Amino acid sequence: MTALIELKGVEKHYGDYHALRGIDLEIRAGEFFSLLGPSGCGKTTLLRTIAGLEEVSSGSIRIDGRDMKGVAANHRPTNMVFQSYAVFPHLTVAENVGFGLRRDPRGKSEKARAVEEALDMVGLAGYGKRRAHALSGGQRQRVALARALILKPKVLLLDEPLSALDRLMREQMQLELIRLQRQVGITFILVTHDQEEALVMSDRIAVMFEGEIGQLADPETLYRRPATKRVAQFIGKMNFLPGALSADRREIDIAGLGRVATADLATSGEIDGAVSVGIRPETLAILFEGETAPRREVQGVVSEVVYYGDMTYYDVRVDGIDRPLTVSMKNLIGRPVLDVGAAARLAWDERALVLLPG
C-alpha cells in the first residue's frame, strides 16, 4: 500500500525547546492511525504540522505526493477536529457544518442537502437550526466531526477528541468513530494519551516520547512485543525482571524464575547489552487447590490485594526478585480472593515473556 502521508526528518523547535526530533513516518491511505504518548511528547505538535497550523523547523511533509512546504492550513487536504471542538458559538449547527462550503460552487439547496447528510452521518439529523453554544459536549463533538467530514478531506486529524467526554460517552464515541471511518474510508489520524483508546481504535499506533517515536506498530504487536520498557509501561501494565544472557545468547537466566531458551521469548529486534524480561500481569496465574501449572511454576507470598470487581490484582513476592510480581486474576465463580500473607503458587509461561533492552 502506498503512503498517503510521508514525513521525513520533521523537526520543530521553539527556541531551545525541541518539540519534535527527526520524525520519519509514513501513514497509509484509509488507515486509522494514532499518535499516542504522555502530555508534552509532541503528538499534538506533530498533528498541527500535518494540518499546516505549525510550520516545521526542518524536514518535509508530503501529503498525497505533494510537498506541503509553504502550503497554509486552508490549502491542505486535511481537516481537523480540535480538542475544544472549536465549534463557532455564534452560528447555528447547520451554519457550522456548512462553514467550509462557503467557497463551494454548488447551489444553495445542494449545499443544504450536503449539510443534512453530514448531520445525519454523525447522528444529529434535525439539529440544524439549533444554536451551537446550546449543545452538550458530545453534540458539539459531532458537529465538529460533521463540519470536517463534509469537505471530504484526504485526512481527518483528531486532537484528543474524546478527552472531554465522560467514560460512557467516550466508549460510545470510540465505536462510532471506528464505524464512521470505515464508512467514509478517509484516513484518520488520532492524537491521544489514552492507551486503551489507541488500542481499541487504531490500525497502527506510533508511541511518542519527548518528540521522538518510541515504537510504531499495530496494537497487538505493540502490546505483545513492546520495543522498550518505556513503551511497555505506557501501554498496559508489565512486570520487569533483570535477566542475564548466556555467552552464546541462546539462554537467559531470569531473576527468580530461572533459565529459559531465548528462542521462546518475544522480542522486537536484536538486543545487546543489559536485558530485562517483561511479563504482563494477565499472563501470570495464581494456582488454586488442585490446579497444576501447564508449563512452569514458582512459589511466592501475596503482599498486596486490590479488588476490582471483575478482576483482582495481587502483588506476589518471589524469592530472588526484588520487586513483587503483579498478577491479575479473573474473579471466576468459586474462586476465593486470597489474603495478604497467603502462600501462592504462580504459573508462568516462557512464551508470554518479552525480552527488552535495559
> Interface residues with another protein (CB under 8 A)?
51-53, 72-74, 78-80, 82-84, 86-90, 99-100, 102-103, 131, 133-134, 144, 147-148, 151
Q: What is the 3-state secondary structure (H, E, C) of 282-311?
A: HHCEEECCCCCCCCEEEEEEEEEEEECCCE
Phi, psi (deg, nearest 5) at residue 148: -80, -40
Our CB check for another protein shows the closer of 192 and 195 to be: 192
Give me the least distance between CB of 148 and another protein, in Å please: 8
Our CB check for another protein shows the closer of 36 and 47 to be: 47
The angle at the Cα of 159, spanning 155 to 162, to the nearest 5 degrees, equals: 115
Our CB check for another protein shows the closer of 88 and 307 to be: 88
Give me the least distance between CB of 51 and another protein, in Å please: 6
Give me the least distance between CB of 282 and another protein, in Å please: 39
Our CB check for another protein shows the closer of 103 and 167 to be: 103
Our CB check for another protein shows the closer of 131 and 296 to be: 131
Q: Hey, what amino acid is at 53?
A: L
Our CB check for another protein shows the closer of 40 and 256 to be: 40
Q: How many CB atoms lie within 10 A of CB 349?
A: 16
Give me the least distance between CB of 326 and another protein, in Å please: 40
Give me the least distance between CB of 131 and another protein, in Å please: 8
DSSP strands (E only) in 37-138: 58-63, 66-67, 78-81
Beta-bridged to residue 332, according to DSSP, are none
Our CB check for another protein shows the closer of 18 and 317 to be: 18
End-to-end C-alpha distance for the chain, whole angstroms: 35
Give me the least distance between CB of 206 and another protein, in Å please: 22
Q: Hey, what amino acid is at 193?
A: H
Give me the least distance between CB of 191 and another protein, in Å please: 14
Q: How many helices (H) and strands (E) does the chain have?
A: 8, 20
Query: Helix, strand or coil for residue 253?
Result: strand
> How many whole angstroms separate alpha carbon 155 and alpha carbon 188?
6
* Chain-centre distance for alpha carbon 258: 34
Give me the least distance between CB of 344 and another protein, in Å please: 52
Our CB check for another protein shows the closer of 79 and 326 to be: 79
- Read off the C-alpha cell for 268: 522486537
- Read off the C-alpha cell for 30: 484509509
Give me the least distance between CB of 304 and another protein, in Å please: 44
- Read off the C-alpha cell for 13: 523547535
Our CB check for another protein shows the closer of 161 and 281 to be: 161
Q: What share of the chain is helix, strand, coil (3-state, %, to 5)?
A: 25, 35, 40
DSSP single-letter state for residue 225: S
Instruction: Please check whether residue 44 is in contact with residue 159, taking contact to mean a CB–CB distance below 8 angstroms.
Output: yes
